[in-house]
Amino acid sequence: MSVGQCRSNMSNQTNTAAQLAAFVELVVQRLALAQDVAAAKHASGEPVDDPIREHQILQSAACALNATRVDYGVGVQFFRDQIEANKMIQCGLLHRWDRHPQEIPASIPNLAAEIRPKLDRITTQIVQQFNCIEEIPRFGAEEITEVIDGRLSAMSPERQLPGLYRHAAIFAMRSLCTS
């Protein structure tokens, strides 16, 4: 079963570790696309901020969250945090590439045709994950950081600025944090 689909009895499950792992997996998958987004925006000259696209994502997520049993406000905030975390990585990479242009990826994927459909699929999987639970799970900051560190250690080595990805992933999970 893929991440984003309900694991058996996830809505009744008390195993918050599995819930945390599922959310972290989706967050990391989404953040892994930030380098591609940054490269595409660098090549096209588009700014990092895209209020129209961000509004579309939030509206779509908000509509989908209405059908779930979770706290709507926390769910929408979770999606806002995903957008901001992705922008955090994009800004960091663009700043780095201004100083080190030789590090700009040679292959630039098409933002609209290649990257956004992947982001949209992950957004759908996150909504599905929220749909699998009765209430928003809350995790301790140390617990979140530990799972993120474990997942990021398996991330592709060609990703630049791994510390920034860690910081962004922790930020992206903040609405599910107890402290």
The per-residue pLDDT for 11 is 41
Are 20 and 147 within 8 A, CB to CB?
yes
If you ran DSSP here, which 8-state letter would residue 131 be given? H
Q: Residue 79 contacts by C-beta under 8 Å, 6 or more apart in sequence?
A: 57, 58, 61, 62, 123, 126
The per-residue pLDDT for 14 is 47
For 70-77, which contacts have Cβ atoms below 8 Å and span 24 or more sequence positions? Answer: 70/130, 70/131, 70/133, 70/134, 70/135, 70/136, 71/135, 71/136, 74/136, 74/175, 74/176, 75/130, 75/136, 77/175
Tens digits of residue pLDDT in 110-128: 999 999 999 999 999 999 9
Query: What dihedral do alpha carbons 166, 96, 155, 49 form, nearest 10°?
Result: 70
The per-residue pLDDT for 145 is 94
Tens digits of residue pLDDT in 10-23: 444 447 789 999 99
The per-residue pLDDT for 84 is 98
Class in CATH terms, 18-176: mainly alpha
43: phi then psi, degrees, rounded to nearest 5: -65, -35
pTM of the model: 0.88
The per-residue pLDDT for 138 is 87
Q: Interhelix angle for 141-152 vs 16-32, to 10°?
A: 50
Beta pairing partners, 177: 139
The per-residue pLDDT for 6 is 58
Q: Residue 28 contacts by C-beta under 8 Å, 6 or more apart in sequence?
A: 148, 151, 152, 155, 169
Residue 24, amino acid: V
Are 1 and 25 within 8 A, CB to CB?
no
Distance CA(40)–CA(119), nearest Å, equals 14
The per-residue pLDDT for 88 is 97
The per-residue pLDDT for 154 is 82
Task: Report residues of the chain scoring pLDDT below 50.
Answer: 1-4, 8-14
